[in-house]
Amino acid sequence: MNSRGNRRRIWTMGTKLAAACAAASLAWWAWSPITAGASSHREAPLITELPKVDGTDFYMFRSYESGRDGFVTIIANWLPLQDAYGGPNYFFLDPDALYEIHIDNTGDAKEDITFQFRFQNTLRGLTVPVGGQNVPVPLINIGPISAGNLQNLNMTETYTLDVVRGNRRTGQRQRVNAPGPNGFLKPTDNIGQKSIPGYAAFATAQIHTVNWPGCDAGQGRVFVGQRKESFYVNLGEIFDLINLDPLGPPDAKRNILDDKNITSFILEVPIACLRRDANSPVIGGWMTSSLRQARVLRPQPTFDRPTVEGGAWTQVSRLGMPLVNEVVIGLPDKDKFNASKPENDAQFLTYVTNPTLPALIQTLFPSVQAPNTFPRNDLVAVFLTGVQGVNQITANPTPGEMLRLNTSIPATPASQQNVLGAALCFVNGTLTLNNPGCDPAGFPNGRRPIDDVVDIELRVAMGYLLPSSPSGQQPFTDQTRIPISSFSEQFPYLATPIPGSPQSATPQ
């Protein structure tokens, strides 16, 4: 058979495979390796192959922008470790993926509301005359662009946003009205100051005011675009067998992620649109991304169709509480965890009741003693059920890992926020609201950008919430802090992304 015949045969086989997978998706799911994923910065094996759908951080807090105290802000970050200079294609999202944010307001560890995002890349096909011919250019822009002038932009990225009530796949779906026929415009990544002068204004123009379907409690806002990486951590030294002083100064080390960008999905939603009713103020939230079960590479790819996708949506990334898959879930189950739903988290209970991190810390630092109380019901409350009297959704919730927020607790103004959040509202496991530094609006009651979740979770893991623990009251830290000025006091809260050029430039 000639080469053209071979290509036709391969293409036909690929198309049939995708169709077959769609018809037999349940059976295919049982053995397909693509069911694995990740819920933070590259911490499960398969997600290193799928960076566009790697969910990295999830935030949910009472809005602390002046005049917006009736709202909850939700931030979901995807596509980690972006170098600002990462051209020429930069960091477009996957148009074949489904990006979702879920809310549980009934305590059954199942989604009651889902915000669902789909993306579309549109090629304008810009050309330049060369030798009498108009030749397509290899770049995404051929000159400066601004909010009011996109004529030099070669590719645009737009997205649609649906609100689904009930089951994420079978519930009632309603489209959020967008300003354009293709949905909302996602601002181009921060290429550099010559390509996009005044990037902050360029991105701000794509903050959209929206009406949330099924809720008449007021308008909200939505923004999807590149931001400066919001997570701060001493990443390298932590994973080098905690190559630092865990009881040293909390700000002695630099934030290793300070030169990275991230892609953020940011929603502002009226509290009444999220809670079950006025007497049920606590909500749970988490983020996921999904791909079709089968992905076949086309032997002759085009810009619009480099692959053929088929089969049911299959979850490949999940994140609620920070750092769970990094330092709680064991290596054999990392991919399994991220393909699962909170309602099925009982299968991972041993990792919470008998955590390995404290034992590893004690091994590395013999002068530090890990808690010897088992099962660790304090960790079950923090990660799986919510803390009674603080952020437990119902009296008898179904255990499920998610971030929980008590929306009846007022927001703390930015200038008064404590990086250790609600953790300081406990003394030897007892809720003590008059404890110095107590900030009940912070993590683990939701999560704000400034909350030092690494230090908090280290301390909680070592027994901070237990009535008595050998090292429970010691100030464990990764030695990295950033100032509150690193974030804005207004929506979308996260800072302007670092420009790709010039090298010495700061965000503008």
* pLDDT digits 0-9 by tens, 147-194: 989 999 999 999 999 999 999 999 999 999 999 888 999 999 999 999
Q: How confident is the model over 116-139, as a mean pLDDT?
A: 96
Q: How confident is the model over 113-138, as a mean pLDDT?
A: 96
pLDDT class of 139 with cuts at 50, 70, 90: very high
Check pLDDT > 70 for residue 22.
no
pLDDT class of 208 with cuts at 50, 70, 90: very high
Pairing of strands 307-319, 260-270: unpaired
pLDDT class of 21 with cuts at 50, 70, 90: very low
- Please identify which residue in the block is written with the tokens 């549109």: 122
pLDDT class of 352 with cuts at 50, 70, 90: very high
Q: 338 near 328, Cβ under 8 Å? A: no
pLDDT class of 281 with cuts at 50, 70, 90: very high
Q: How far apart are CA 252 and CA 81, in angstroms?
A: 22
Residue 162: Cβ within 10 Å count? 15
Alpha helices for 342-482 (secondary structure H): 349-353, 357-364, 377-380, 453-461
Q: How confident is the model over 340-368, as a mean pLDDT?
A: 96
Residue 447 Cα to chain centre, angstroms: 12
Q: How confident is the model over 248-261, as a mean pLDDT?
A: 94
Q: How confident is the model over 466-494, as a mean pLDDT?
A: 94
Query: From residue 455, how far is each of 148, 165, 264, 287, 329 by CA, in Å?
Result: 43, 36, 23, 23, 18
Check pLDDT > 70 for residue 24.
no
pLDDT at 16: 44
Q: 421 near 451, Cβ under 8 Å? A: yes
**Residue 270 bridge partners (DSSP):** 71
Q: What mean pLDDT is reported for the chain?
A: 90
Helices 453-461 and 357-364: crossing angle, nearest 10°?
Answer: 90
Check pLDDT > 90 for residue 126.
yes
Q: How confident is the model over 476-484, as a mean pLDDT?
A: 94
Q: How far apart are CA 366 and CA 356, in angstroms?
A: 15
Check pLDDT > 80 for residue 278.
yes
Sequence-distant contacts of 44-50: CB under 8 A, at least 24 apart: 44/325, 44/334, 44/335, 44/337, 44/338, 45/334, 45/335, 46/316, 46/335, 47/316, 47/317, 47/338, 50/291, 50/316, 50/317
Contacts of 367 (CB under 8 A, 6+ apart): none
Handedness of CA 85, 86, 88, 91 (dihedral sign): negative
429-446 tens-digit pLDDT: 888 889 999 999 999 999
Sequence-distant contacts of 415-418: CB under 8 A, at least 24 apart: 415/484, 417/64, 417/441, 417/442, 417/448, 417/450, 417/484, 418/442
pLDDT at 430: 86
User: pTM (2 decimals)?
Assistant: 0.91
Check pLDDT > 80 for residue 15.
no
Check pLDDT > 70 for residue 6.
no
Q: Residue type at 78?
A: W
Residue 157 Cα to chain centre, angstroms: 19
Query: For the chain, how far is it from start to end, CA to CA, in angstroms?
Result: 59
Residue 227 Cα to chain centre, angstroms: 13
- Please identify which residue in the block is written with the tokens 């299959």: 314
pLDDT class of 468 with cuts at 50, 70, 90: confident
Give percent of the chain with pLDDT exceeding 70: 90
pLDDT at 40: 58
